[in-house]
Every structure is written in structure tokens, then in C-alpha cells.
Chains A and B, each alone.
Chain A
Amino acid sequence: MPKTGRFSMRRSTAVAERVLAQIRRDRRTLGMLFAMPAVIMLIFGFALGGQVSNVPILVDNQDAGYSANLGVTGMQLYAGSHVLASLQTDSAVSVTTGSFASGRQGVDSGAYFAAVLIPSNFSQVAFMRAQGRNVSASIQLYIDGTKPSIVATVLGALQNAVQNTSRVKGFNLVQQYAYGGKFSGLDVSLPSVIAFVLTFLVLLISLLPV
């Protein structure tokens, strides 16, 4: 006796195959399925993505270095200089050196996007952390937070530089935003709204009689 259950794999497969065959002939649906997402991705990529480079920042390296006594010989460590050098070779940022106070003023006036202060005990902390000591230091960052992609670029460059230099954790990044930085619900939902509007527009256009 045949099964009388509501679900039938055979029927479902037959219907799925039939729908796929119909879609293959339906250029409009194919366009909606493949071309439209590709176009939207291109638009979004162009609008929101892209490489950010040469972001002007100011770095105040107050690191005094650290003379480490390793028993027989001593060693002079300048971790802050390594961080600075690493930032200077990073094409994402364009580094100017100067005082943190002038950097803050520069950020306020729009001359820089960020000002970075490497503390005087940076090398000492880096060394002690390498020795297994539980100490920490704070790198201060004063940044214009109105453009999320630039914020992400500066933070990425700074984190890379610190990690490349010390390879140990223990540095706190104290961020202070000159402008922006606090994202509202609209900032988060705006891309979705744009995507919805675009999708809807494409749908409307595709429904126009050919």
C-alpha cells in the first residue's frame, strides 16, 4: 500500500527539478538571482570598501628606552623606536613625529586623523613582559572617529606595529575620540536600508514590461 504521509521526497524532488527548469528559462529571475547581487556588491564595494592609505597621523614617541641587565652583558632596548619605524614603513599611514599635544590640536583642526603617544616606559614594559612579569603600559590614541574605515586602518596599523615589535601582549590602547566614534543604530542599519532600496528598485525595474 502506498504511503499516505504528507511529505514525499519523490514529489519534492520532482517539484524542485521542475522549478529549476523553469528558472533556467526565466532570464528575469536569473538576473535577480545572480546579476543583481553582483551589481549590489560592486556598488557597496565601491561605496564602502576600498583601500585606505597614507592616513596622516602624528606619533609622539616618549619611550626612553630600557637598559636591560642580562648578567654578563647589558642590552639597550628601544621598543618605541621600533614601533615608530614600523608605522613609518606602513603605507596605510603617513607618520609625522611631534608632541602629543600638537597632535591633538592637529586632529582637532583636521591636519591629522590621529595622534599617538608611546609612553616613556614602553621598552621597560616590553622587556618585563618578555621576562614573564605581569606589567602593562598604555598607548594613548586621540583619533577622529567620524570615518570608520579610517579608524579601522589606523588601529590596524598601530596594532601591527606593536605586535611586530614586542610580540607580547600587555599594552593597553586608550582611545579618545575627537569626533564621532559612537555609532548609532542608523550607522549600523544604513547599509541594510540601502541594500533593501536597491533590491526593491531592481525588482521594480525588472517587472517593467520588456
Chain B
Amino acid sequence: MIECENLVKEFKEGKIRAVDGLTISIKKGEIYALIGANGSGKTTTVNMMTGALAPTSGRVSVLGVEMPEGKKLISGRIGVAPQEYSLYSDLTLEQNAGFFAKLYGMDSERFRKRFEELNGILRLKGREHSLVANLSGGMKRRASIECALLHEPEVVFFDEATVGIDPVLRAFLWDYFRSLRSKGLTILLTSHVMDEAGKADRIGLVRAGKLVDEGEPETLMARHDVSSIEEVFLKLSGREITDA
């Protein structure tokens, strides 16, 4: 479903190597968490997977299509909730969702039905006509997720989707992610919050653009003989403070 092979991304003529030979394979219907410290290359990896960035070397394919060349071919089949809100704060929630729906080529009837359904699931009912600027941080996060899911994509990328939201909402979103997985949706999420990464089916630990370990949460903990993913991460990262 998502394949990365020896993926490299360099900036500033090679002075910065944000992603350094990353190889990942994510299966259909899997929740994969890419975790790492700030600046470890998670967002750059997601950007290459979604076709927003071209890799310096290596290859990445999503739904069997090479990226970034084929991004237009699959833009209607993938959803992206970026780390920074991609919502227009001077438009209402409905106008934002309507805009993305039009970009995805959804007709009005389908959009209306789906928007109502997602508003119910993501507990945004009653805020349809609120300006995004007036929504709380958690609501903006849910609105961003709503826009990513409107067109019923097959693969969704959540870049730090659950960062900065309260534990109740986070638990709710994870339940929702699992319900999506049960419907066959493939989810790749990035996070630097280790305890929530433990809820994913598989975890990839990234450090300085390199995949330092990968596996199911229990397998990783057992392999490193620790009791939490956070400890796995600290063990692998060497407790270094990286650039945020």
C-alpha cells in the first residue's frame, strides 16, 4: 500500500540530510506510527509519500503509484491532515469542508451526506457555520481530520494529528482510527508522543532521518527489554536533545 525504498531527502545542496535511506513497507488496513523526535524527518517523509516533495534519491510508491510523478493520479484516493492546520480560519467549517470536497471532485449531495456523517462522528455538530478561527484547538484538529476523510480515501496521512489535544479526545480519535482500519483504511501517522504510538499496529522509530527500529509495539518493548515505547525510544535515541 505504501512502499519506501532507500528514501533520501537532502536540503541546502546536501548540507542537511532530513531523510537518510528510509525503507518502509505498510500493508493495507494497517495503522503505522512513524515516531521520532522533532526534526527527525517524519514530516519530510510524509511529504514525499504524499507527493508534496520529491525525494533526492530512492523511491516511494503509494497505492502502487510512484510518487511524486503520479500524485495527481491518486490525489482522490489519499487524505492528508498536515501538522499545520491547512484550514482557512476566515471561512466556516462548512465552507472549508466544501472547498476540499470540490477539490476532490465530490458532488454536492455526496458532500452533504458525508459532511453530516463526519460531523456526527467527530463531534462537530452545531459548529458547521462557525468560523474556523473561533474553534478550539481540538476542534480545529478534528476539522482538519474531517477534511482529510471527506472523500473516503484509501490511505490517510495524519501528521502529528493527535498532538496538542486532550486525553479524552485523543482516546476518542484512536477509537475512530481503529474503526477506519476495520473498514480497510490504511493509516500512517506521525507523532513524537510515544505512549500513543503504542496503540498503532506497527511502529517505525526514526532518528536523524534513519529508521532505527521497526515492529509491533509489544515486539519492540520485548526486543529492548523495556515496558514502554517511550523507553524504547529513549534507549534508541540515546537521550540526545535534537533540534526542534
Indicate whether B91 reaches chain A with its CB closer than 8 angstroms: yes
Q: Establish whether residues B73 and A4, one from each chain, have CB atoms under 8 Å apart when the complex forms.
A: yes
Q: Which of A17-25, A149-157, A167-175 contacts B (4 or more CB under 8 A)?
A: A17-25
Q: Establish whether residues B91 and A25, one from each chain, have CB atoms under 8 Å apart when the complex forms.
A: yes
Q: How far is the CB of B205 from chain A (nearest CB, A)?
A: 36
Q: How far is the CB of B213 from chain A (nearest CB, A)?
A: 38
Q: Establish whether residues A14 and B99, one from each chain, have CB atoms under 8 Å apart when the complex forms.
A: yes
Interface centre among A13, A18, A22 (most CB of B within 10 A): A18
* Residues in B neighbouring A25, C-beta threshold 8 A: 90-91, 131
Chain B, interface size category, equals: 10 to 19
Q: Establish whether residues A2 and B73, one from each chain, have CB atoms under 8 Å apart when the complex forms.
A: yes
Indicate whether A70 reaches chain B with its CB closer than 8 angstroms: no
**CA gap between A17 and B100 in the complex, in Å:** 11
Q: Establish whether residues A22 and B102, one from each chain, have CB atoms under 8 Å apart when the complex forms.
A: no
Indicate whether A207 reaches chain B with its CB closer than 8 angstroms: no
* Residues in B neighbouring A1, C-beta threshold 8 A: 73
Q: How far is the CB of A12 from chain B (nearest CB, A)?
A: 10
Which residue of the partner chain B has the closest CB to A2?
A: B73
Query: Knowing A13-B102, A17-B102 touch, does A2 contact B76 (C-beta < 8 A)?
Result: yes
Q: Establish whether residues A18 and B105, one from each chain, have CB atoms under 8 Å apart when the complex forms.
A: no
What mask results when residues 81 to 107 of chain A are scored 1 for a CB within 8 Å of chain B, else 0?
A: 000000000000000000000000000
**CA gap between A122 and B98 in the complex, in Å:** 75
Q: Count A-side interface residues using an 8 Å CB cutoff.
A: 14
Instruction: List A1-33 residues whose CB lies under 8 Å from chain B.
Output: 1-4, 10-11, 13-14, 17-18, 21-22, 25-26
* Residues in B neighbouring A11, C-beta threshold 8 A: 102-103
Q: How far is the CB of A81 from chain B (nearest CB, A)?
A: 71
Q: Establish whether residues A10 and B90, one from each chain, have CB atoms under 8 Å apart when the complex forms.
A: no
* Residues in B neighbouring A21, C-beta threshold 8 A: 91, 95
Q: Establish whether residues A2 and B72, one from each chain, have CB atoms under 8 Å apart when the complex forms.
A: yes
**CA gap between A26 and B91 in the complex, in Å:** 10
**CA gap between A21 and B131 in the complex, in Å:** 12
* Residues in A neighbouring B72, C-beta threshold 8 A: 2-4
Indicate whether B88 reaches chain A with its CB closer than 8 angstroms: yes
Which residue of the partner chain A has the closest CB to B101?
A: A14
Query: Knowing A10-B102, A11-B103 touch, does A18 contact B90 (C-beta < 8 A)?
Result: no
Instruction: List B60-90 residues whose CB lies under 8 Å from chain A.
Output: 72-73, 75-76, 88, 90
* Residues in A neighbouring B88, C-beta threshold 8 A: 18, 22
Q: How far is the CB of A62 from chain B (nearest CB, A)?
A: 73
* Residues in A neighbouring B99, C-beta threshold 8 A: 14, 17-18
* Residues in A neighbouring B75, C-beta threshold 8 A: 2
**CA gap between A153 and B88 in the complex, in Å:** 54
Q: Establish whether residues B73 and A18, one from each chain, have CB atoms under 8 Å apart when the complex forms.
A: no
* Residues in A neighbouring B95, C-beta threshold 8 A: 18, 21
**CA gap between A10 and B105 in the complex, in Å:** 7
The 3 closest A-B pairs by CB, nearest first: A14-B102, A18-B99, A4-B72
Query: 29 interchain pairs (CB within 8 A)?
Result: A1-B73, A2-B72, A2-B73, A2-B75, A2-B76, A3-B72, A4-B72, A4-B73, A10-B103, A10-B105, A11-B103, A13-B102, A14-B99, A14-B102, A14-B103, A17-B99, A17-B102, A18-B88, A18-B91, A18-B95, A21-B91, A21-B95, A22-B88, A22-B90, A22-B91, A25-B90, A25-B91, A25-B131, A26-B90
Spell out B's residues near A (CB within 8 Å): 72-73, 75-76, 88, 90-91, 95, 99, 102-103, 105, 131
Spell out A's residues near B (CB within 8 Å): 1-4, 10-11, 13-14, 17-18, 21-22, 25-26
Knowing that A14-B102, A22-B90 touch, tell me 9 more A-B residue pairs with CB under 8 angstroms.
Answer: A1-B73, A4-B73, A11-B102, A13-B102, A18-B91, A21-B91, A22-B91, A25-B131, A26-B90
